[in-house]
Structure 1
Amino acid sequence: MKRTLVAMLLITMLAGVSQAENWPNWRGPGFNGVASKGDFPTTWNVDQNISWKLELPGVGSSTPAIWEDSILITANDGGFNLIICLDRSGKEKWRTQIGSSRDGKHRKASGSNPSPVTDGESIFVYYKSGDLACLNFDGKLNWLTNLQKEHGEDTLWWDLGTSPVLTRDSVVIAVMQTGPSFLLGIDKKTGKQIWKSDRNLDAPLEAAQSYSTPIVVNDDGNESLLVLGADYVTGHDASNGKELWRVGTLNPNGEKYWRSIASPVLSDGILLAPYARGRTLTAINVGSAKPSVAWTVDGICADVPTPIASNGTAICMTDKGLVTKIDEKTGKQ
């Protein structure tokens, strides 16, 4: 019940985003968890600042995507993967079943951890079962493929967490696990593979596994991908997946169980990479000709939550609830 209530609050808060701004993917249009300025409530409870509540049909750990009057959320119910579309008043517009679901292993997770993503023309959803689908805004399926049938079963010790991201032509999935790891570029219109880029690094045991989501960077029309996982941050050409650079290791002592859950965040040419189960935050100057570590600080992050970064500052929170604001350029409070 508590998990369902949190989902209700997320939907309600995101529905308050200005109609002029869409929230097309996990962590928003800037991949940084920051919305444009607006009159947002800073407190809420069951009686205050709640527009509406809706009981979801099944479990899910994804966050909503919003495009104009459509709120998109995934869930598992009755043995199926679901994508549900609501309007901004909370009224269901449609729901579509997409393949058979696979249950989560962790009590706080599910088979629908990845968040949906949209470019305003199509909707893309990804599930622990390996199903990757594209739908239109009427809920009709454009195409469906199963990445695990195509490329092998996932070997993660826990539940699939990475969300799909969109480039100009592709929907991109990061598969970082024990065994073969890679990035995939799937044609948005056809569902056919455009490229596959191996990402097999030297991370030991569980440290090779990552649940983070890549960042798409558009620099005057040149798209690149930034990926955190398996003890390294890598930069890739978004048109073909080719690795352009690599920074690491973030695990100099070869710790076996430093799998990464929190995703990186980018602001003003500085990529912030949480690592070491939340013990470290490393800043990488990705705007330079040869990206390198700018600074590392300890003890201000958590294992799972991703930092927020905008306008030269970053906000981090520990597992015990300590919130810290730092300067992105220096790492100082």
Structure 2
Amino acid sequence: MKMKTAVLMAAVLAGGAACFAAGAAELAKVENWPRWRGPQDNGSTEAGRYPVKWSGTENVLWKAELPGKGCSTPIVWEQRIYVTAPVAGQDALLAFDWAGKALWQTTVGAEKPGKHRNGSGCNPSPTTDGVSLFATFKSGNLAAFDFTGKVLWRTNLVEKYGRDTLYWDYGISPVLTEKFVVVTMMHQGESWLAAWDKRTGALGWKVARNYKTPVENDHSYATPIVVRQAGAEVLLVWGAEHVTAHAAATGEVLWSVGDFNPGGQKNWVAVSSPVLAADVLVVPYGRGARLHGVKLGGSGDVTATHRLWKREDTGTFVPTPAAYKGKVYLVRDRGEVECLDPVSGKTEWTGQLPKSGANYYSSPAIADGKVYAAREDGVVFVARVEGKFEVLSENNMGERVIAAPVPVGNRLLLRGERTLFCIAAQ
């Protein structure tokens, strides 16, 4: 099959340290970024001030060498940074303090390296509920940790359920409900989502999720979103040309929306994850040429009533959209930037980041009225998105960047293939 990109986000997101002396008052203001797309699952924060320009000598507070290649996005909890990486052929979770000092690294089983240049064995990002940490890997290793790095429980999904048949490298991040850590697998063959008790590791439920699609369209790399409807937790899952809503307690399908590919096009794999804004799920599809707005709720098949709008002239294939102050922002693979109203689906403005032979595969982050977008060649662009679009700077990290930027506590974390950078205006 012909596929122009050699990537998985996960879409889809990091030696010595020059320590920055932060006072206790500043550390107390550090927010949390507990999962891949942040506390609101939308890739943005409305708090803090963030840098515009940096270089090897300017505004780089510290950088920490990582033990191996990875594409996962770091998370932040209570002044600690957690990121996955391979360590001597083993899958591992690593911890750093807010000054860049390595605190611990814990391995959980043999690594299965990535097949592609822009993939790795640790594409999925870790997550936390503030009680435990959770991480999964391409190898099938799934583990829970405490905040000292002790493994609380672990299992291997490949050993239990078989190898994936994905063309690209597995990259769906685990998501958390009140009781469970949930993992999805959508590929050719038996697709499923399953939930493990966060504290014990016991399997709570596992349900099949199979839809007949054209070639490769049953493959998905999109991370689910957890929402509340009628007071209950619901999992929103995108893949195999369907959005499905599942009861978090049981996995039961509550409602679904299909008909995303009426023409039966092949190789419309779902890489980019949806984003929720103004109670509308904005779903990219069709290799960047389609975008749908889905109303939440209902019962059964609500395809005919809950698709609010669809676009056939825009979308994004790999980078997941961000939502910020009620608007949705796309950074497309070739650097086009677009601001949309999520309710109407109408474009409010467009812009363009600099093009090169490299694509934009990292999912953008928005903070302080600016979008942070990393090109695969390691150049990170900063552009104003409030008022008018304006490119403010370009910053070369010196290594490939696939992971999403993390703006938290007035600092920007950037995970390159082998280095974790911390950027802030000093």
- Counterpart of 1:326? 340
Alpha-carbon distance in 2 for matches of 1:108, 1:281: 24
Equivalence map 1:1-333=2 (5 Å): 7=14, 19-219=29-229, 221-287=231-297, 290=302, 292-333=306-347
| Per-residue deviation, 1:211 | 0.5
| Per-residue deviation, 1:288 | 5.9
Alpha-carbon distance in 2 for matches of 1:182, 1:130: 14
Based on CA coordinates, which of the two structures has the bigger radius of gyration? 2
After the TM superposition, which of the residue ranges 16-25 and 171-180 deviates more from structure 2? 16-25
Contact kept? 2:87, 2:107, Cα under 8 Å: no
| Per-residue deviation, 1:206 | 0.8
| Per-residue deviation, 1:17 | 9.7
Alpha-carbon distance in 2 for matches of 1:240, 1:128: 25
| Per-residue deviation, 1:96 | 0.5
- Unaligned residue ranges in structure 1 (runs of 5+): 1-5
Larger relative contact order, structure 1 or 2 (CA cutoff 8 Å, min sep 6):
2
- Unaligned residue ranges in structure 2 (runs of 5+): 1-12, 348-426
Q: For 1:247-282, what per-residue CA distance to the aligned partner results, in whole angstroms no more than 9, with x for missing partners?
A: 112111222211111001111210000101111110
Alpha-carbon distance in 2 for matches of 1:285, 1:48: 45
Query: What is the root-mean-square deviation of aligned Cα atoms in Å?
Result: 2.1
Moved over 4 A (4+): 15-18, 287-291
Q: For 1:215-237, what per-residue CA distance to the aligned partner results, in whole angstroms no more than 9, with x for missing partners?
A: 00034641000011111111111
What is the SS of the residue equivalent to 1:52? strand
Contact kept? 1:262, 1:303, Cα under 8 Å: yes
Q: For 1:48-94, what per-residue CA distance to the aligned partner results, in whole angstroms no more than 9, with x for missing partners?
A: 32211111110111000110121000011321101100001110110
What is the SS of the residue equivalent to 1:129? coil
For 2:312, the aligned partner's letter is: D
Contact kept? 2:255, 2:297, Cα under 8 Å: no
What is the SS of the residue equivalent to 2:171? coil
Contact kept? 1:173, 1:185, Cα under 8 Å: yes
Q: For 1:177-219, what per-residue CA distance to the aligned partner results, in whole angstroms no more than 9, with x for missing partners?
A: 1000011011111111100111001122211000110000034
After the TM superposition, which of the residue ranges 246-255 and 169-178 deviates more from structure 2? 246-255
Among all aligned residue pairs of Structure 1 and Structure 2, give the percentage whose two residues are the same amino acid.
45
- Give me the TM-score of the superposition, normalised by structure 2: 0.73
| Per-residue deviation, 1:140 | 0.4
Size of the aligned set, in residue pairs, is: 323
For 1:329, the aligned partner's letter is: V
Contact kept? 1:315, 1:324, Cα under 8 Å: yes
Q: For 1:76-122, what per-residue CA distance to the aligned partner results, in whole angstroms no more than 9, with x for missing partners?
A: 13211011000011101100011000010011110000000001110
Alpha-carbon distance in 1 for matches of 2:312, 2:59: 36
What is the SS of the residue equivalent to 1:207? coil
| Per-residue deviation, 1:20 | 4.7
